[in-house]
Chains A and B, each alone.
Chain A
Amino acid sequence: MEDEVLRAALAPTRECLAVEALGRYADGALGADQQRAADRHVRGCLACQAELALLHGVTSSRLRDDEAEVIRAGVSRLEQRSAEIFDDRASASAPRGWAGAVRFPRAAVAAVLLLAIATGSFFVLRTRTTPALPGTVTTGNEVTRSLAVMVRGPVGEQTGVPLRLEWVAVERAARYRVRLLEVDRVELWSASTASLSVDLPPHVRTAIVPGRTLLWDVTAYDAAGAAIAESGTQSFKVGPR
């Protein structure tokens, strides 16, 4: 009974925003009236506040120590899995290759493939015999990201001026380029290193003042100088003293 009371007390109500709407609210993508109404509701609603905190917590780019291996193994597994699914389409009798761990019922796989054929665009339609796609998505230096660069920090509000920027190793990366940017994306400072962190020089640290938001990103390059992974833009701010 007691847990039921707590569940009833804390469960979302009919007035709560669906996750889809909450995401649009977080992006400021609702219309002005809807945004105001959502704002009023969220301020007084524990369930929506918790859902919003979940969105921010989960999508934070800060990588925790226990996650790096999960992601590395997961990326590898995901690639293998899509290939196995294509093979399965090509030969229904072929055994599934990754320790029998494919969870999709055959009917579901067939439905996905039919949909893929209909759109002509689904990424899993590549077979093993299809050559790797050229990196023509960008012009100039070819970008074929095998893995995002996961950052360790600084991200979010800081209690003091950070000493360095840190990230997690990317497979095949020979060096990393780091940029520190103003919020309008004007570059303040950049560096290139083979390490997984870079110390901020004193003249840069003096520019990091309380309340000023700064952005930074990391791009990983392989030995041939091709960009293979990006962190996306991170931001941090030193809190008031």
Chain B
Amino acid sequence: MAAPSDEELIAEYLRAPAADRARQVVDELFRRHRARVIAWCYRLTGDRDGAADLAQDVFVKAYSSLRLFRRDSKFTTWLYVIARNRCRDDARARAARRREAPADEIVEMPSELNEALGALEVRDARHVVRTLMDDVLDETERRVMTLHYGHEMRLDAITAALGLTNASGAKAYIVSAKRKLTAAVKRWKMKS
């Protein structure tokens, strides 16, 4: 007979069985997903040493919230959301502690892109940047740029999360994207 699904186990847990059985159920969920959650935490942060720490936090949160799980979505998605939020909080806390971007985050911007963007109001720049990104960047470049600047993810984390296999990972996509954006800005300035 096939093993019960995660959702079936949680349904059993929610039927308030005896404490021993409830413990078996959550222990089974832990055994099923611990490797996966460690992998996720590593991919979301790029931090080999911190992944287990974060996974522990994820399980603490998951087990304390298990009764809030809505069974219309997958348990693994629910668990991922907890991991994503925890890893994002961790990244923000680290950034706040450092009060500066880590060395690998600094990617020199081509000066023409600097000048063009710097001369715009933020609201206009938002529109221009998005339009140009749609026009000239490929899908991976758009995602890397958005994750780095929009979601404030470290480059090594983006490399791990998206499974980028080129030598310099996400950084190469940022450099390439900015080069393309610079050329696009030139054309845009000539038109306007």
Cα–Cα distance between A20 and B88 once the two chains are bound (Å): 13
Is B72 among interface residues, defined by CB-CB distance under 8 A? yes
A interface, over-half SS: helix
Chain A residues within 8 Å of chain B by Cβ, number: 72
A9 partner, pick from B56, B78, B126, beta carbons under 8 A? B126
CB within 8 Å for A10 and B145 given contacts A51-B151, A75-B38: yes
B81 partner, pick from A23, A119, A122, beta carbons under 8 A? A23
Is A90 among interface residues, defined by CB-CB distance under 8 A? no
Are B126 and A23 interface neighbours, CB within 8 A? no
Cα–Cα distance between A122 and B26 once the two chains are bound (Å): 7
CB within 8 Å for A121 and B13 given contacts A2-B113, A10-B129: yes
B163 partner, pick from A20, A60, A101, A103, beta carbons under 8 A? A60
Chain B residues within 8 Å of chain A by Cβ, number: 74
Is B35 among interface residues, defined by CB-CB distance under 8 A? yes
Are B64 and A112 interface neighbours, CB within 8 A? yes
Are B130 and A9 interface neighbours, CB within 8 A? yes
Are B52 and A74 interface neighbours, CB within 8 A? yes
Is B155 among interface residues, defined by CB-CB distance under 8 A? no
Is B19 among interface residues, defined by CB-CB distance under 8 A? yes
Most buried by A among B128, B142, B147: B147
Report A-chain residues with C-beta under 8 Å of the C-beta of B39: 63, 67, 70-71, 150
Cα–Cα distance between A60 and B31 once the two chains are bound (Å): 19
Is A188 among interface residues, defined by CB-CB distance under 8 A? no
Contact residues of B between 5 and 64, Cβ < 8 Å to A: 9, 13, 19, 22-28, 30-36, 38-40, 42-44, 48, 51-53, 55-56, 59-60, 63-64
Cα–Cα distance between A148 and B120 once the two chains are bound (Å): 51
Is A58 among interface residues, defined by CB-CB distance under 8 A? yes
Contact residues of A between 1 and 32, Cβ < 8 Å to B: 1-12, 19-20, 23-24, 26-27, 29
Are B35 and A138 interface neighbours, CB within 8 A? no
Closest-CB distance, A27 to chain B (whole angstroms) = 4
A59 partner, pick from B38, B40, B55, B149, beta carbons under 8 A? B40
Are A81 and B118 interface neighbours, CB within 8 A? no
Is B95 among interface residues, defined by CB-CB distance under 8 A? no
Report A-chain residues with C-beta under 8 Å of the C-beta of B136: none
A-B pairs with beta carbons under 8 Å apart, 23 shown: A2-B109, A2-B117, A19-B85, A23-B77, A24-B73, A29-B72, A47-B150, A50-B151, A54-B151, A58-B80, A59-B77, A64-B163, A74-B51, A75-B34, A78-B52, A81-B56, A121-B13, A121-B26, A121-B66, A122-B23, A122-B26, A137-B28, A150-B39
Residues of B within 8 A of A (CB): 1, 3-4, 9, 13, 19, 22-28, 30-36, 38-40, 42-44, 48, 51-53, 55-56, 59-60, 63-64, 66-67, 70, 72-74, 76-78, 80-81, 84-85, 109, 113-114, 117-118, 120, 122, 125-126, 128-130, 133, 142-143, 145-147, 149-152, 161-163
Taking A50-B143, A82-B56, A123-B30 as given, write out 8 further A-B residue pairs in contact, using a Cβ cutoff of 8 Å, ordered by the A residue number.
Answer: A5-B118, A8-B122, A9-B130, A70-B48, A119-B64, A133-B27, A138-B1, A230-B3
